[in-house]
Amino acid sequence: MSTLKVTDETFEHDVLKAGQPVLVDFWAEWCGPCKQIAPILDQLAEELSGRITIAKLNIEDSPSTPGRYGVRGIPTMMLFRDGQMASMKVGAMPKAKLLEWLAEAGVGA
């Protein structure tokens, strides 16, 4: 399974009402670190399929959701579980650190 594109319009259904945890990557086309982390998120979407959904929200196309959750810098990754934001990380990080963060949050291999 690849990453899921979400928007302001689909956020509630795709993230808040999802049946499993969702990691949302808030990003933009012009963001270098966002481009750096994108292939890692694609890998995680494949490797953790069935346990977590990896979603991407472009802050330029959908500005109200990042505002609602206080996104100040990108990339910002938020982990949602049962309709609530459970954990947040700001900035690009290597795959091992992302997996460590997800494991600490109770999601992982």
Q: What is the pLDDT of residues 28-86, one digit of tens each?
A: 999 999 999 999 999 999 999 999 999 999 999 999 999 999 999 999 999 999 999 99
- Is 34 an active-site residue? yes
Query: How many Cβ atoms sit within 10 Å of the Cβ of residue 44?
Result: 20
Taking the whole predicted model, whether its pTM rises above 0.85 is answered as yes
Q: Is 32 exposed, middle or buried (0-12, 13-18, 19+ CB in 10 A)?
A: exposed
Render pLDDT for 78-87 as a digit per residue (tens, 0 to 9): 999 999 999 9
- Per-residue confidence band for 2, with pLDDT thresholds at 50, 70 and 90: confident
CA dihedral 13, 50, 68, 29 (to 10 degrees): -110
Angle at the Cα of 84 from the Cα atoms of 81 and 87, rounded to 5 degrees: 70
**Which residue among the candidates 15, 34, 48, 78 is catalytic per the annotation?**
34
**Which residue among the candidates 31, 48, 55, 59 is catalytic per the annotation?**
31
Which of 81-84's residues contact partners 24+ apart within 8 Å by CB, and which partners? 81/21, 81/22, 81/105, 83/16, 83/17
Q: Phi-psi category of 91—alpha, beta or left, where left has phi over 0 and alpha has psi -120 to 50?
A: left
- Is 3 an active-site residue? no
Question: Which domains can be identified in the chain, with CATH numbers?
Answer: 4-102 (3.40.30.10)
Distance CA 6, CA 58 (A): 8
The pLDDT assigned to 1 comes to 67
The pLDDT assigned to 108 comes to 63
